[in-house]
Amino acid sequence: MDAMLISVVIPAYHAKKTIKKTISSICRELGSDILYEVIVVENGPEDGTRQVIEALAGHMPYIRLYHSVQGVSNARNEGMMHASGKWLMFVDADDELHPGSGKRLIEVMQTSEADVCLFGHQSGEKLRPVCSESEFYTGSEIEAVRIRMLEAPTRYMQVWAKLFRRQQVVAAGVLFEPELSMAEDSDFTFQYTAFCRSAAFYPDIVYDYHINPVSVMHAFDAQKVEAYIRAMTVMTERMSGESEAIQCACDQYILAHFHIAMVNGVFCTGNDVFCGEKVRRIRDTAGHPVFKKAIRRVSLKSGGWISRVTGLLLKGHLYGLLGVVYTLRVWQKRKR
């Protein structure tokens, strides 16, 4: 009997309207020539998602349905517990596999010796590849890979558009942190790469990320900044014992999430407080120890020009100008 090649884990929270399209994209790309399973973990109040999945499972025997307590980390952990594939892949319930990606994914799964494989994704009309040509790293090169990923977390650190070697995940005992409601996927990726002996980057686009304006990431939530602070505090704790180079890259990682917290949690559409109050929130958040330390330590010589400019504004306490940057960023995202 052929071995299970991949387990695709989908956390499903209020996913009635999108889950069928998501699962259909997976089945379309993986086809019928390999053995795989689609593990859907419902983790919210009943909204009809279960009935949709059960109807699909009636004629798609590779679909598995489980339940967990609320929280995306709990759902993914539950899914991993039931997985049996050689590879793990995480797909969100409102996203899809990119059309035409299946052949390449299967080829990589059948031939790659890497512990983690990174691919590109499409967000709206924008293609976001992780490299221009295939790259493979092993041994002492892995530290440079982790630094590269930490310094550009929105490009490299999310768990989707990746293949994780399941036995390595199990052996390392890596789980998603249920305490985190933000950056929990980056936290998982960081933990796992600490145990990786090899990593591969592929230029292929395999994942379609759909921007949902009412999702946790993009809807206004007054507690979102505090959630990012918790996530960055956990990351700081995980830095204990890491090399100085990794810790320096972590400063870039933390500042990137400072900017994400401001754009998605303070300046986002739906927050109608006065501009002066938003600028005050920039100042107060920058003064939190976890961000204050990163702002002080971060080098302005690394990262892209945007990160260097925003880092300079933070170091100079030019919060009003930062407010303008964040406002323009929100406008840009809304227009896109």
What pLDDT score does 28 carry?
A: 95
The C-alpha angle 109, 172, 4, rounded to 5 degrees, equals 30
d(C-alpha 66, C-alpha 14), whole Å? 15
- Long-range Cβ pairs for the range 65-70 (8 Å, 24+): 65/40, 66/39, 66/40, 66/41, 66/42, 67/41, 67/42, 67/43, 68/41, 68/42, 68/43, 69/43, 70/13, 70/43, 70/44
Most confident of 42-46, 237-241, 330-334: 237-241
Strands (E), 49-93: 63-67, 87-90
Q: DSSP state, 4?
A: P
What pLDDT score does 74 carry?
A: 97
pTM: 0.93
Q: Which residue has the higher pLDDT, 148 or 2?
A: 148
d(C-alpha 184, C-alpha 202), whole Å? 24
What pLDDT score does 331 carry?
A: 82
Structural tokens at position 295: 């702002």
Average pLDDT, the chain: 92
For the stretch 281-322, pLDDT in tens is 999 999 999 999 999 999 887 767 777 888 899 999 999 999
Point out the least confidently predicted range of 9-18, 38-47, 201-210: 38-47
Q: At what angle do helices 184-193 and 72-82 cross, to 10 degrees?
A: 40
Q: Are 9 and 83 in contact (CB under 8 A)?
A: yes
What pLDDT score does 217 carry?
A: 43
